[in-house]
Structure 1
Amino acid sequence: MLQNFFILCSGADSEILKTCSKGEQNKYAGIGATVFFTAVMAFIASSYALYTVFDSVYAAAFFGFIWGLLIFNLDRFIVSTIKKRNSFSKELLQATPRILLAIIIAVVISKPLEMKIFEKEINQVLLEQKNELTLANKEQLALQYTPKIEQLNLDIANLKSEIAVKEAETNALYDVYINEAEGTAGTGLLGKGPVYKEKREKHDASLAELQQLKTTNAEKIVGLEKQITELNTEYAKIVQNTQPIIDGFDGLMARINALGELPWFPSFFIFLLFLAIETSPIIAKLLAPKGEYDVKLEEQESILSSWVAQKVAQRQLIVSTDGELNQKIYEDLKGEEELYRYKKQKAEELLRLQADKFHEVQVKNL
């Protein structure tokens, strides 16, 4: 039963194979088994590839099964249409398009399995790429906020500098009126005279301005610091919202690109392995000598082509003979006087009817 199934997979004519030797049947059962297991590998590979796209086991298994059936049908068609002939060059020319198709199928099958085999290495490459994308994303977003925050910090520094300047000025006035009271500067008189009072009033006025400036600038600084906090919060929120996009950067195309960054040697030999599996039925048919099945199949095809050619020749002969007979019959009828008179009578009747009808139409028009 299993042998019959694999013979079915090979695309060979089971009725002809039943009349062949066991060795011939085993050969085509082996070819069919290769076709079947290639389709199984295609199902597994495509299911994994589609799982990275849909993130659903059921959807990936369903479409993977459809893809496996497609590959099975293509391989079966490729193998079944290669006919053994007496010329190897003709057989190779016949198989060339099928070999090219087999190469394409091998690439499609091998890539998803390569991604699964090198999954850990690909994840490492993707992690590095995600980290780079995260840093680049933060830098790009920071370009929108850093100038504003720097300007606000500069404004805060200017306000603090303004307070410091005013404070230094007030302290200088304080030293002036103290020195005046001590007699170490100014008039040089010890005590609190009119000059002292004047300098003290100037200092007190400056101190009041300093207090007012501190209050005013403190309110401004609080407002500016609030704006900086809001900008930092907005920046952190945007970074947080965009991070899931970077975290989801592990789709099929991203994994294929990550696979391309790995050393090519192991990946290339995995591709060669699947290429060998995919082309093995075709190569086997090309290299195998012309067997019993091929001889019987060619005989059956020649019988069919001979029968078709015979039928076509018979139809052409029938048409030719029928034409010649008709020609002879009509030539014989030319000499029949009775037939001539009968046709003349009918022609006269037809002409009279046409003349009468034409006359009626003309009268009606008048």
Structure 2
Amino acid sequence: MLQRFFIFCSGADTDILSTCSNGERNKYAGIGATVFFTAVMAFIASGYALFTVFDNVYTAIFFGLIWGLLIFNLDRYIVSTIKKRDNIKSELFQAAPRIILAIIIAIVISKPLEMKIFEKEINQVLLEEKNAMTLENKEQLALQYTPKIEALNQDISNLKNEVVQKETETNALYDTYISEAEGTAGTGLLGKGPVYEEKRQKHDAYLAELQTLKETNAAKISSIENQITNLNKDYNESVTSSQPIIDGFDGLMARINALNKLPWLPSFFIFLLFLAIETAPIIAKLLAPKGEYDYKFEEGESVVATWVTQKVTQRKLLLSTDSVMNQEIYEDIKSEEELFRYKKQKAEELLRLQADSFHSTQIKGL
């Protein structure tokens, strides 16, 4: 039962192979087993690759099964169409397109399994890329908000400096009128004279302006600080909203790019392994000597080709002979006077009938 299934997988003619030796059947069962297990590997590889895309087990299994059947059909077709020849160069020329197709299939099959085998290393590369993308994302978003925040901080600094400058001037006036009262500066007279009053009034005016300036600038600073708080809030919200996109940077293409950043030698050997598996049926059939099945298959093809060629040749001869005979027959008929008189009589009768019919039609139209 299992042997018959693998023979079916090899694409061999079961009717012919049933008349061959057991060794010949085992050879094609081995080729069919290779085709079958290659399709199984294709199903596993495509299932994993599609799982990374759809993130759904049932969808991955469904499409993976379709892909596995497609690879199975292709491999079975490739193996079944390779015919043993007496010339090795002819066999290689016949197998060359199929080997190229096998290489393409091996690449498609091996890549998803490489991603699974090196999953931990790929995750590390993706983690580093995500961290770098997170920092880059913050820097890019900061370019939108930092200039505005710095400008607002500069406005706060200017308002504070304005208050400090006013305080300095007020304090200087305070020192001036105190020195005048003590007699250590100004007029040098001890006591609170007219000059002292004048300087005291000037200081009080500056002090009132300072108080007003403090209140006004404090309100402005509070408003600016609210703007800075809102900008920082918007920045944090932008970072938070964009982070899931970075965290989701885990698709098929991202993993393939991450795999390409790993050392190439292990991936290359895995590719060679799958290439050997995929081309094994073709190589086995090329290397195997011409067996009993090949001779019988070639005999069957030869019988059909000879029979078809014979039928075509017979039809051509029949057509040629029939044409010659018809030509001679019609040449003989052409010289028969009795036949000529008979056809002339019938033609005259036909012309009379046509004339009578035309005449009747014309009369009815009057």
* Corresponding pairs, count: 366
Q: Distance in 1 between matches of 2:208 and 2:30?
A: 105
Task: Give the structure-2-normalised TM-score.
Answer: 0.97
Letter in 1 for 2:85: R
Question: Is structure 2 residue 12 aligned with structure 1 residue 12?
Answer: yes
For residues 35-62 of structure 1, the C-alpha deviation after alignment (integer angstroms, 9 at most, x for no partner) is 0000000000000111111111111110
Q: Distance in 1 between matches of 2:353 and 2:154?
A: 116
Secondary structure at the aligned position of 1:58 is classed as: helix
For residues 105-154 of structure 1, the C-alpha deviation after alignment (integer angstroms, 9 at most, x for no partner) is 00000000000000000011111111111111111111111110000000
In the TM superposition, 1:45-64 aligns within 5 A as: 45-64=45-64
Letter in 1 for 2:159: L
Letter in 1 for 2:123: N
Partner residue, 1:208: 208
Partner residue, 2:267: 267
Q: Report percent identity of matched pairs.
A: 77
In the TM superposition, 1:148-297 aligns within 5 A as: 148-297=148-297
Partner residue, 1:31: 31
Q: Distance in 1 between matches of 2:89 and 2:123?
A: 47
Unmatched 5+ stretches in structure 1:
none
Cα 1:361/1:188, change in 2 over 3 Å:
farther
CA positional deviation for 1:324: 2.5
Of 346-355 and 170-179, deviating more is 346-355
CA positional deviation for 1:320: 2.1
Partner residue, 1:336: 336
Q: Distance in 2 between matches of 1:165 and 1:357?
A: 131
Q: Distance in 1 between matches of 2:275 and 2:360?
A: 88
Q: Distance in 2 between matches of 1:337 and 1:143?
A: 113
Question: Is structure 2 residue 140 aligned with structure 1 residue 130?
Answer: no
For residues 50-108 of structure 1, the C-alpha deviation after alignment (integer angstroms, 9 at most, x for no partner) is 11111111111100000000000000000000000100000000000000000000000
RMSD, matched Cα: 1.6
CA positional deviation for 1:360: 7.2
CA positional deviation for 1:176: 0.5
Question: Is structure 2 residue 121 aligned with structure 1 residue 121?
Answer: yes
Q: Distance in 1 between matches of 2:254 and 2:360?
A: 90
For residues 312-337 of structure 1, the C-alpha deviation after alignment (integer angstroms, 9 at most, x for no partner) is 12222222232223223222222322
Letter in 2 for 1:267: S
Partner residue, 1:43: 43
Q: Distance in 1 between matches of 2:97 and 2:109?
A: 18
Q: Distance in 2 between matches of 1:100 and 1:108?
A: 13
Partner residue, 2:145: 145
Q: Distance in 1 between matches of 2:245 and 2:33?
A: 45
Q: Distance in 1 between matches of 2:359 and 2:218?
A: 121
Q: Distance in 2 between matches of 1:315 and 1:287?
A: 42
Secondary structure at the aligned position of 2:184 is classed as: coil
CA positional deviation for 1:341: 1.1
Question: Is structure 2 residue 26 aligned with structure 1 residue 22?
Answer: no
For residues 236-263 of structure 1, the C-alpha deviation after alignment (integer angstroms, 9 at most, x for no partner) is 1011111111111111111111100000
Q: Distance in 2 between matches of 1:265 and 1:312?
A: 59
Partner residue, 1:317: 317
Q: Distance in 1 between matches of 2:67 and 2:47?
A: 9
Q: Distance in 1 between matches of 2:49 and 2:184?
A: 93
Partner residue, 1:69: 69
Secondary structure at the aligned position of 2:65 is classed as: helix
For residues 12-32 of structure 1, the C-alpha deviation after alignment (integer angstroms, 9 at most, x for no partner) is 011111111111111100000
Task: Give the structure-1-normalised TM-score.
Answer: 0.97
For residues 189-243 of structure 1, the C-alpha deviation after alignment (integer angstroms, 9 at most, x for no partner) is 1111111111111111100000000000000000000000000000110111111
CA positional deviation for 1:265: 0.3
Q: Distance in 2 between matches of 1:208 and 1:337?
A: 150
Q: Distance in 1 between matches of 2:223 and 2:360?
A: 112
CA positional deviation for 1:353: 4.5
Letter in 2 for 1:170: T
Q: Distance in 2 between matches of 1:206 and 1:363?
A: 136
For residues 157-198 of structure 1, the C-alpha deviation after alignment (integer angstroms, 9 at most, x for no partner) is 000000000000000000001111111111111111111111
Letter in 2 for 1:24: E
